[in-house]
Amino acid sequence: MKAIKLIVGLGNPGQEYADTRHNAGFWFADRLAARAGASLRADKAYQALTAKGQLAGLPVWFCEPQTFMNRSGISVSGLANFYKLAPDEILVAHDELDFLPGTVKMKKGGSSGGHNGLKDIAARIGSQDFWRLRIGIGHPRSLALNQQVADFVLHRPSRTHQDEIDAAIDAALDVMDDFVRGDGDKAVAKLHAR
């Protein structure tokens, strides 16, 4: 596995979305960037908040697209093209409806599973072959909620679910040094064993 050079958190910009489930990718990227000593700042060139930091002694770029979820690929493809990054040098953190809150898994490639942010990134970089950090937020059906998916992802989780999501993000943060170094098997095994 190659070292990871770009870590992307997906979400929607604006204070009204900051605490909503769809922003789980932003929550992860914010905390990892802080750990890497990186301050995310508005970058008009990429329509994103970006920063450069260090993890495991290696330089890493952070990106939070500010284009709204469905157009996340604009920011990611811009950075990937400029820095000549291969898809497998990119990790995208995002909310995952198929996992209950508290679950977090990593995988490389695969379909977008209906996630519009992933769909747009794959279309714009011309590959599905990037890494995904899938942060479980639950699904209205699995949580016995009478809510449409579009409405569900744009609401804040309950306190209990927020605590479970935060714990999942903590677990992911703990394996990032291994992952960024290119020791993906070790990182994935550690993360999936929890």
Q: Where are the domains of the chain?
A: 6-192
Q: Is pLDDT above 90 for 184?
A: no
Q: Catalytic residue among 22, 94, 115, 161, which?
A: 22
Q: Is pLDDT above 90 for 52?
A: yes
* Catalytic (active site) residue 22: yes
pLDDT tens figures, 18-42: 999 999 999 999 999 999 999 999 9
User: Could you tell me the two tokens for 127?
Assistant: 């590959």
| DSSP-assigned letters across all residues of 38-49 | ---EEEGGGTEE
Distance of CA 149 to the CA centre of its chain: 19
* d(C-alpha 69, C-alpha 11), whole Å: 6
102-125 burial, b for 16+ CB within 10 Å, e for fewer? bbbbbeeeeebeebbbbbbbbebb
What is the average per-residue pLDDT within 3-26?
Answer: 97
Beta-strand relationship, 6-9 and 58-65: parallel
pLDDT band at 194 (very low <50, low <70, confident <90, very high): confident
Mean pLDDT of the chain: 95
pLDDT tens figures, 108-130: 999 888 899 999 999 999 999 99
Tell me what pLDDT residue 1 has.
Answer: 84
CB atoms within 10 A of CB 144: 7
Closest CA to 140 of 128, 131, 153, 127: 153
Tell me what pLDDT residue 62 has.
Answer: 98
C-alpha separations of 15 from 12, 18, 23 in Å:
9, 5, 11
The answer to whether the CB of 65 falls within 8 A of the CB of 113 is no
Tell me what pLDDT residue 35 has.
Answer: 92
> Residue 103, by phi and psi: left (phi above 0), alpha (psi -120 to 50) or beta?
beta
Please indicate, yes or no, whether the overall pTM of this predicted structure exceeds 0.85: yes
Tell me what pLDDT residue 147 has.
Answer: 93
What is the average per-residue pLDDT within 156-177?
Answer: 97
The answer to whether the CB of 70 falls within 8 A of the CB of 92 is no
Domain 6-192 fold is: Rossmann fold (3.40.50)
